[in-house]
Amino acid sequence: MSNQSIMVFFGLVLIIIFILSANLISGIIFPEESAITPQTIQEPVIIQSHPIIVSHTFPFEKAMVSFSVSVNASVLEEIQKNGRISSIFYNDSGSVGIADGYRAMVMDPVQEQIFYDLLEELRTVRRIQGLSDDEYLELMAVYVQSLRYESIEWSPVKFPVETISDSAGDCDDKSLLLAGLLAREGYSVALLSFGPEAHMAIGIGSDDYLYKKTGYAFLETTNYSFVGVPTDSLGSNLTLNSDPVIIVISSGKKLYSSGNHTRYIHESYVKSEQKMNELASDLTDLNDDILAKRKRISELESQISELKNSGNIKEYNSQVATYSTLVSIYNRRLSSVRQIRADYDKCADIHHYIFEHKYDRKGVYDYVKKNFSF
């Protein structure tokens, strides 16, 4: 090889080394903006001989639901060891990084077996009770809502398998679990993340009762709540004022079609409370008036008795007429009080029934339609 060829060869080598070095240095000094999402190993996990058995009981519609699922302790250990360490880090990619992180946690394949086992139990309940698609969605929602609410400050977001194992979680944890269940059953579902209020809820694909401009019906997971009914307050009168970041988990074809029912229930709940306040004000006014008239009637009774004993017949007859008129007015007012009290009690019963049966949309709707009109 000639000296000129050798020089050309080494020149090319130096150029290649320079390019590779430049790329490496650029990657170190100017890293791309990318989210680090939670990830666990994708190899099969060995099932331990002593799995964790998790039992849970909760009300749904007119019955109590009970079942147990087996949590692979090795999966739980793998999640806690490798998944939680990156639960959810992101840089300037902002909401994109958060969305990718949450999706990774919901759909991590290592959790598929526990999701399958849990859904088998829920499907059995559906089959036994003959539930529609809407009622089946409500069953999954009520199961998650019934799990103990547990908020630990600065605690990382749990993977769904952890929430199942603990039978507890905060708004993030429970929302991720419910989103995972609904997504695997073909429903349209998203996470609704409220940054300023540090809250998360679920968005349900629906044909009615949609939340703001999200295109989804709102669903709270921290407590029993109907699909579509937004959370009024969080803790110390903190309300959800911000517009949520929408994190789509599944674009499934199944939509919730009972939003007209839950809207009617919520409107009845609000109206019954307003009516109770109005009736309470009327009762206060009438009670004050009745007490005053009762006092005047007692005074007249004493005067009439004295006039009768003194033989002052003319004055006696005059006071008796006044007394009879006052008693007649008093009795009419007392009748009005009793009617208002009955109306108040009816509104209170309806208000209380709705509040105490948020796990039974179908039953509550029938009850309200039968007992309340506005």
Query: How many structural domains is the chain composed of?
Result: 2
The domain of 235 spans: 52-256
Crossing angle of the two packed helices 361-371 and 259-310, in degrees rounded to 10: 40
pLDDT at 122 over 90: yes
pLDDT at 27 over 80: no
Confidence of residue 272 (pLDDT cuts 50, 70, 90): very high
Q: How many Å apart are CA 115 and CA 184, to the nearest integer? A: 8
Burial letters 336-364, b for 16+ CB under 10 A, else e: ebeebeebbebbbebbebbeebbbbbbeb
Q: Among 51-60, 140-149, 236-245, 246-255, which stretch is predicted with the lowest mean pLDDT?
A: 236-245
333 shares a domain with 272: yes
pLDDT above 90 as % of the chain: 55
Q: Is residue 3 part of a domain?
A: no
pTM of the model as a whole: 0.79
Q: Is residue 152 part of a domain?
A: yes
What average pLDDT score do residues 288-293 get? Answer: 85
Answer whether 247's CB lies under 8 Å from 103's CB. yes
Question: Mean pLDDT of all residues in the chain?
Answer: 84
Contacting residues for 237 by C-beta, under 8 A, at least 6 apart: none
The pLDDT score that the predictor gives to residue 21 is: 46
Confidence of residue 125 (pLDDT cuts 50, 70, 90): very high
pLDDT at 109 over 80: yes
pLDDT tens-place string over residues 305-348: 888 888 788 887 888 888 888 888 888 888 888 899 999 999 99
Q: Looking at 256, 288, 307, which one is the last position of a domain?
A: 256
Q: Looking at 233, 256, 279, which one is the last position of a domain?
A: 256
268 shares a domain with 232: no
278 shares a domain with 346: yes
pLDDT tens-place string over residues 80-108: 776 554 444 443 344 566 888 899 999 99
The pLDDT score that the predictor gives to residue 103 is: 93
Q: How many Å apart are CA 291 and CA 293, to the nearest integer? A: 5
335 shares a domain with 280: yes
